[in-house]
Structure 1
């Protein structure tokens, strides 16, 4: 759930154009970058849903790759925020990467361990996203971002609370939540694109 923060007008001092941090900030504030994060969430979700008999090994690999990719997206998107608000985002990016490494390191782990990793990442991600939306009153389409945060919290709680007797049932649930989260993130990306257009900023970024 990578989300932009702050107003679309881009107030404040602008670093030199060649500054690597500035380049990351421009990329992280791009609506296409947010849309890429949504696609990275949607793809494994769709694969799991259309492949209901996926083995636990394949599921763990898909989830591990998803978490690694999301960690990368979140790391870059953090630079699109004000410097004082970057710590929670950086912590979340590290958490995503660690979760992905754990899934890929031992893909034959139990369904209980896999659900624990995914549920914890989604829960923390939802809390950070919701907090960012509440704390940033001038965030464009703040209500949509809050909805994404709430969806992530619910997804994390449901996955953590589920009994683990049925791997097939949990596989379907993980796929469904990934699709829902991906669609919500796509809505945030399109809302951010609309905010950039209203601010007169080129749609490819800021």
Structure 2
């Protein structure tokens, strides 16, 4: 899941700090507010989904490893993205999502031979809680561009979590198709969000590869 990226780029003459970032914290914040960072998060979600759908007959062990790696990488993206927020509540929610994804990824990789039910429970809970927190940050964030897209991504995560938790998965093949489908849908949602943020930067008069105006 992808969350809000801080305030919207302001219209009018862009005010961008020249030169390199003043410190590591500023560099991380600048990276988190870049539309390409959202694009990278979308790719991390989309690629595993496509791989799972293309090879649905792989073993549960392979599925658990792929899902575990996806959760770890997604957690890393979300941790950096948390620095794009200015409000302490929004930043805390972002860090909480990152920690949740990393823990879920560790659980998947620690015991890749776990049961189908356990894998469904881990992924379903991660998506459900992440979707709820994303929905919260989308509503709480001020001056959020394309708020509707962020809300849709949050709702999609909630629905994905509920479906994975509620529907019985009697075989690894059923679980594989289900997880692959939701990964693709979530990845496409984040892809739309990345290009929406790029459009907001262009509309504000900033180059599309700019991270946004300095505060």
Answer yes or no: same fold by TM over 0.5: yes
Q: Which residue of 2 aligns with 1:79?
A: 83
* Aligned residue among 187, 195, 198 for 1:190: 195
1:51 equivalenced with 2:52 (yes/no): no
Within a 5 Å distance, the mapping from 1:1-150 to structure 2 comes to: 1-3=1-3, 4-9=5-10, 17-84=21-88, 85-150=90-155
Give the TM-score of the pair, scaled to structure 2.
0.90
User: What is the alpha-carbon root mean square deviation over aligned residues?
Assistant: 1.8
Tell me the matched-pair count.
204
Gaps of 5+ in 1: none
Q: Which moved more, 1:128-137 or 1:41-50?
A: 128-137
Moved over 6 A (4+): none
1:61: Cα distance to partner? 0.3
Give CA-to-partner distance per residue, 1:14-73, whole Å, 9 cap, x none.
8x9221111111000000000000000001000000001011000000000000000000
